[in-house]
């Protein structure tokens, strides 16, 4: 399995249209499974693309406009009906916890599993998840209500052992030391094995920035600088820029300019308005400014390879 893979579940804006579902993405990083936003129909898309819903232990909701969370309740109830028992971590601004509690209360339901709610802090960059492999940091966005993007960044990886150079009699603890970049010495302090003689450079550490509903922001550009993969909403074409400002969304050209200024390696655009059946003009507008641009399409998978 590739160690960094993103699958688009939903790419539409406020309304589902032309087979496009509201916002939702599925991300795998080193066998950790994340759901980013959960628009209407998210669980149907997960089933369509053969994603086991019980693999997902962390769900990130960018903001409380319905097209980004209305699929969550159905997903949670399906997890319940399938006898999920493991904890589920949910990251969102305050209010989503009240919505879920009201739905559980009035349906007289008690989930089989525990939801651990992690409230996001308004307009603040904060680390909301971290383990030995990666961290997830919020990206404060500029939208009509409090909205956060999410920056997934792998930590530097260990050196790789060159197995062809290993010697007979080397202990496992020696190999572990070498992989850490530590030389191995004997009890007298004399060199036994030099790390550089038995190791190769580590695999690259990748990064992904998810910028949900927002108008362009200089602060965002600084925070996402040099990421390997950027998702940035592109609700409108440039000829609807006035509408974009009114609704605090971005045009395809603006998303491309963000990618160019931030010097990211690759851009994915999505959150398309229902006024656009044919997305070719949207892609063309962005690619004129930032050629390494792709459309977010349902079922499309983007892999970051070693």
Residues carrying an active site annotation: 67
241, 299 Cβ separation under 8 angstroms: no
115, 88 Cβ separation under 8 angstroms: yes
Dihedral over alpha carbons 255, 273, 293, 240 (to 10 degrees): -50
Beta-sheet strands, E only, within 93-246? 115-119, 127-130, 134-140, 148-154, 160-161, 184-185, 191-193, 199-200, 207-211, 229-233
* Cα separation, 255 vs 235, whole angstroms: 10
Q: Angle at the Cα of 210 (from 6 to 255), degrees rounded to 5?
A: 110
10, 21 Cβ separation under 8 angstroms: yes
């Amino acid at each position: 399995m590739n160690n960094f893979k993103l699958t688009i579940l939903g790419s539409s804006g406020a309304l589902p249209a032309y087979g496009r579902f509201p916002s939702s993405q599925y991300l795998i990083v080193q066998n950790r499974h994340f759901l980013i936003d959960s628009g209407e129909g998210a669980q149907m898309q997960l089933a369509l693309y053969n994603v086991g819903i019980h693999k997902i232990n962390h769900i990130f909701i960018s903001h409380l406009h319905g097209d980004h969370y209305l699929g969550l309740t159905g997903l949670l109830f399906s997890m319940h009906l399938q006898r999920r028992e493991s904890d589920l971590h949910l990251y969102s601004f305050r209010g989503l916890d009240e919505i879920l509690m009201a739905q559980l209360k009035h349906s007289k339901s008690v989930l089989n599993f525990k939801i651990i709610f992690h409230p996001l802090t308004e307009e603040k960059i904060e680390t909301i998840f971290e383990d030995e492999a990666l961290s997830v940091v919020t990206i404060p966005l500029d939208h009509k209500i409090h909205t956060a993007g999410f920056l997934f960044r792998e930590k530097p990886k260990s050196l790789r052992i060159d197995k062809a150079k290993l010697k007979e009699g080397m202990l496992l603890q020696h190999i572990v030391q070498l992989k850490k970049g530590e030389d191995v010495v004997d009890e007298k302090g004399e060199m036994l094995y030099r790390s550089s003689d038995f190791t190769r450079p580590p695999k690259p550490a990748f990064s992904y920035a998810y910028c949900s509903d927002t108008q362009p922001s200089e602060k965002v550009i600084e925070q996402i600088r040099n990421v390997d993969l950027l998702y940035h909403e592109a609700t409108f074409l440039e000829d609807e820029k006035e509408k974009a400002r009114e609704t605090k969304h971005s045009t395809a050209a603006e998303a491309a300019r963000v990618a160019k200024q931030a010097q990211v390696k690759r851009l994915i655009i999505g959150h398309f308005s229902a006024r656009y059946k044919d997305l070719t003009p949207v892609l063309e507008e962005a690619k004129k400014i930032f050629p390494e641009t792709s459309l977010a399409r349902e079922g499309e998978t983007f892999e970051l390879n070693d």
